[in-house]
Chain A
């Protein structure tokens, strides 16, 4: 009887201490569904209570049902034989249970049978499931695919397809990557051609497609003959038939329950989603942003699992006549794990709320066009904030979780390296979070514009004007010092006006921005809880060292890396 929501007071803190008034009001369109659907909330409190109750169900399924099966899911893995893929039994059972609990269609509107939940709650769902089994959120988060159809599909497509997602009849997959197009999606080659009857057909190969064996895929394809860039790409809805062959599935380090498929399309008939040429630049970017948020949540969930394993192992393990939890080298690791998990969680829910507000405003403008004038500025602000913070949390969440799992295994010592404990599984599962849906390096490219362009400072200004930090004066002073250092580094780089120099420092700038943003957010948390004051203090102490040395390095104009790297890695002779 373990409930992964009820036993996680930090998720509860993030959801309950956050003012969700605006998120709820936008998501619920001022509670207009309240009279139409018995499960729709009547007011703010009712909605918040709904979130709580739904998360309790998710927590119960995760703790009592999913977690006990996770080891078997990992050991069996997804299997491939004769062109067909089988999920491990434990994962199949979990999906069936989740569907029966009406947890499919989490973010879809009620008119399609969905729960109409905000991403803020969906992130918690992903995090909680990930703690139980890292493979499961891959299937759950593919609900984002349904949201993409909801946003860009025709009414006919939505009515036809979305209820099937909700009933659990279909899980989707997003078929983007190809053997020669990974990070560089603009270069995809899979060809979509229009037949004389106007119907589209697909030819080519997709690789690394999570759950590519599923009934419905969104396939990105080159629809404009002779084009080469992102503008020649459209997105297609493909219902699986005999014209797509699964060539194989990957044998992987982790998340073994989730099948990663290679797909061969041979004159496979598909239908266009939305408009031609908008496939990558608009629809896929939208799809990937929600997937990135989900990966951040998945990473935080895996980190939570690993931290708990390590902490309880350390508490019970005695060496030198005492619990190793009391040995400085160990408690420092454990404390830093916990501090960083809480920091990541804070940014995860902050970003999720931004996405909710952005999406909510867009939906409101669509439904009530006369509100556009009032909401235009807000929409532009929240679009910028969400585009900055999504890559920031994807990268910080994933890299943090990798470090946490590394340290969690270290705390276990030798037994951590064996299959006797779950920590080795978390260590393997977490590795991919820094890679898929855009590597951490690609997230830097996604975020650096918002740092150099000043979006980050606009957001920090919001925090400064919306909060009275006098109660945490010293912490806030330190956070402001971080901001000053970041501003100095940004100005220095802008003054150079050298694109290569900026790219060279982009990861460092994004590191500084992440530390500064987290410091502010943790100061806000510190206003609500004494425990969070300690978390903020510990985090900011580390951030000061990192930000100071990074700033000094940037200001020193040391470009030896740019100059020497070719001599080192392209000419290996030492003697």
Chain B
């Protein structure tokens, strides 16, 4: 039977490929100018889920909360081997901070029903908060292992994992159900499968589809889904006062546009002493 896994993914602006117009004059991200991609560490989370499935079997459902176009990142998940996907989308979710997002995702997970493992990227490259995963685990009242480096052992009951802590790593063990946040060091995500891309590129979306439960129940490796399920605030039963902007206590006070500039050039002699001095200087500045 294997594990029932949920992978939570996010669509983010591609901050690795910054062009001239990436920032607006007020210092906020110009999302229209940046290509939207799947958050890189979410791909690591998906990869880890696929490897677990390859190891002991299972079923992978990828979910994302976002606008309609976020369906694109769900397709990216299908292309790599997710068994099914759910888009959680509603105008009411707009402007959500990490707390409101975690609430919404919690309700979505509740609607999915039983699960063994939730995986998500450690943090997103837009906000860099690393909060949503841990908050979802708290709201669901389940264990969490953050910053996963390696799944050492896993079966249907229990996982032993290596995860990063300041200055090192820790080997920990937990019963299921469990939430994992995955780092880019855990694995190298696979490329999309040519066959899955061709099979899924034109897949339809079905708003509030009832077909989801059925597909989930009958999940078997050889069948491909034929619709992307979409849920909104009503269908997951989330109270609109705790989601979106309304449910977000975080208020941005000020955004500062920092321009990094080189002030002066320092010549370091290529000697033992010169390098030692540089090392000390960098340590004093807390750079290393």
Q: Do A and B bind each other?
A: yes
How many A residues face the partner with a CB closer than 8 A?
A: 20
Closest to A54 in B: B194
Asked if A369 is at the interface (CB within 8 A of a chain B CB), the reply is: no
Q: How far, in whole Å, are A224 and B224 apart by their CA atoms in the complex?
A: 51
Would A39 and B191 count as touching, CB distance under 8 A? Answer: no
**Pair B190/A53 contact, Cβ less than 8 Å:** no
Which one of A38, A57, A97, A103 lies within 8 Å of B199 (CB-CB)? A38
Inter-chain contacts of A65 with B (CB < 8 A): 191
**Distance of B51 from chain A, by nearest CB (Å):** 11
B199-232 toward A: CB 8 Å interface, digit per residue (1/0)?
1011000000000000000000000100000000
With both beta carbons as reference points, the residue of chain A lying nearest to B198 in the complex is identified as: A39
- Expressed in whole angstroms, the Cα–Cα distance for A54 and B197 within the complex equals 8
Residue A102 CB within 8 A of the other chain: yes
Contact between chains at A101 and B193 (CB < 8 Å): yes
Interface string of B156-197 (1 = CB under 8 A from A): 000000000000000000000000000000000011111111
Report whether over half of chain B's contact residues are helix, strand or loop; otherwise say mixed. Answer: loop
By beta carbon, the residue of chain A nearest B226 is A38
Given contacts A38-B199, A38-B224, whether A57 and B16 have CB atoms under 8 Å apart is no
A54: chain B residues at CB < 8 Å are 194, 197-198
Per-residue CB proximity of A1-25 to B under 8 Å, as 1/0? 1000000000000000000000000
Bound-complex Cα distance A61 to B199 (A): 20
Q: Are A100 and B193 in contact (CB under 8 A)?
A: yes
Interface residues on B, range: 10 to 19
Known pairs A61-B191, A97-B190, A97-B191; A39 contacts B199 (CB<8 A) = yes
- Assess the B194–A115 pair: CB atoms within 8 A: yes
Query: Considering the chains assembled together, what is the distance between the CA atoms of A49 and B194 in angstroms?
Result: 12
Looking at the assembled complex, report how far the CB atom of A168 sits from the nearest CB atom of chain B, in whole angstroms.
12
Return the CB mask of A53-84 against B: 1 if under 8 Å, else 0.
Answer: 11001001100010000000000000000000
* Interface class of chain A by DSSP: helix
Closest B residue to A114 using CB positions: B195
- Tell me the A533-567 residues at the B interface (CB within 8 Å): none
Distance of A60 Cα from B191 Cα, bound (Å) = 8
**Digit string of A481-506 for contact with B (CB within 8 Å is 1, else 0)?**
00000000000000000000000000
A38-B17 Cα distance, complex, nearest whole Å:
34
State in angstroms the CA–CA spacing of A103 and B194 once bound together. 6
A102 touches B201 (CB 8 A): no
Cα(A41)–Cα(B192), bound, Å: 18
Residues of chain B within 8 A of A60, CB atoms compared: 191
**A50 proximal to B (CB < 8 A):** yes
Contact A101 B199 (CB under 8 A): no
In whole angstroms, what is the CA distance A49 to B200 when docked?
12
Chain B residues positioned under 8 Å from A61 (CB to CB): 191
Question: Are A115 and B195 closer than 8 Å at their CB atoms?
Answer: yes
Q: Are B190 and A101 in contact (CB under 8 A)?
A: yes
* Distance in angstroms between the alpha carbons of A38 and B199 in the assembled complex: 5
Are B192 and A101 touching (Cβ within 8 A)?
yes
Q: Chain A contacts of B196 at CB under 8 A?
A: 39, 102
Which of A50, A57, A60, A101 has the most B CB atoms < 10 Å from its CB?
A101
* Interface of chain B residues 24 through 48 with chain A (CB within 8 A): none
Q: Mark A96-137, 1 if CB is under 8 A from B, else 0.
A: 010011110000000000010000000000000000000000
Interface readout for A508-520 with B: 1 if CB under 8 Å, 0 if not?
A: 0000000000000
CA distance A149 to B93 in the complex (A): 56
Chain A residues within an 8 Å CB radius of B190: 97, 100-101
A101 touching B224 by the CB < 8 A rule? no
| Min distance, Cβ A145 to any Cβ of chain B, angstroms | 20
A residues near B198, Cβ cutoff 8 Å:
38-41, 50, 53-54
Of all chain A residues, which has the CB nearest B200?
Answer: A38
| Docked CA distance A65–B190 (Å) | 10
CB of A536, distance to nearest CB on chain B (Å) = 34
Assembly CA distance A40 to B202 (angstroms): 12
Footprint of A on B, CB under 8 Å? 16-17, 190-199, 201-202, 224
- 8 nearest interchain CB pairs? A39-B198, A38-B199, A39-B199, A102-B195, A102-B193, A39-B195, A101-B191, A102-B194
Question: Which residues of A pack against B, CB within 8 Å?
Answer: 1, 38-41, 46, 49-50, 53-54, 57, 60-61, 65, 97, 100-103, 115
**Additional A-B contacts beyond A1-B17, A38-B199, A57-B191 (16; CB < 8 A):** A38-B198, A39-B195, A39-B196, A39-B199, A40-B198, A49-B201, A53-B198, A61-B191, A100-B191, A100-B193, A101-B190, A101-B192, A101-B193, A101-B194, A102-B196, A115-B195
